Amino acid sequence: AQKITQTQPGMFVQEKEAVTLDCTYDTSDQSYGLFWYKQPSSGEMIFLIYQGSYDEQNATEGRYSLNFQKARKSANLVISASQLGDSAMYFCAMRERDTGTASKLTFGTGTRLQVTL
């Protein structure tokens, strides 16, 4: 069975600093996809970034990058130059069988990030 582990219930970071949110996963599949979502206090789930298990390069989307270490089964999210608007809950998620065929996401418990002045 798939499992996503986020060990940091809460994190603080100063504005303009970088922060890393940890995510480890467990799966027996060779092919899978990893995602990060942001959930502000308003409640919506916002897609941030995706990494396929066969992608050789780490994914980047603007200030977000995903530090993918396949052998360690980790997919950490790095946010550079933090902004006050980055304060939110962040969820790591995994989709098995990364063939583009749609299937369910398994989520971690989330990390609450607070950006301070």
Partner 1 sequence: DSGVTQTPKHLITATGQRVTLRCSPRSGDLSVYWYQQSLDQGLQFLIQYYNGEERAKGNILERFSAQQFPDLHSELNLSSLELGDSALYFCASTPTGGSSGTQYFGPGTRLLVL
Q: Which residues bind partner 1 (CB under 8 A)?
A: 33, 35, 37, 43-47, 50, 52, 91, 95, 98, 100-107, 109-110
Report the nearest approach of partner 1 to the CB of residue 26 (Å).
16
Q: With contact defined as beta carbons under 8 Å apart, do 82 and 88 qualify?
A: no
Q: Which amino acid is at 115?
A: V
Report the nearest approach of partner 1 to the CB of residue 117 (Å).
29
Report the nearest approach of partner 1 to the CB of residue 97 (Å).
9
64-69/111-116 β-pairing: unpaired
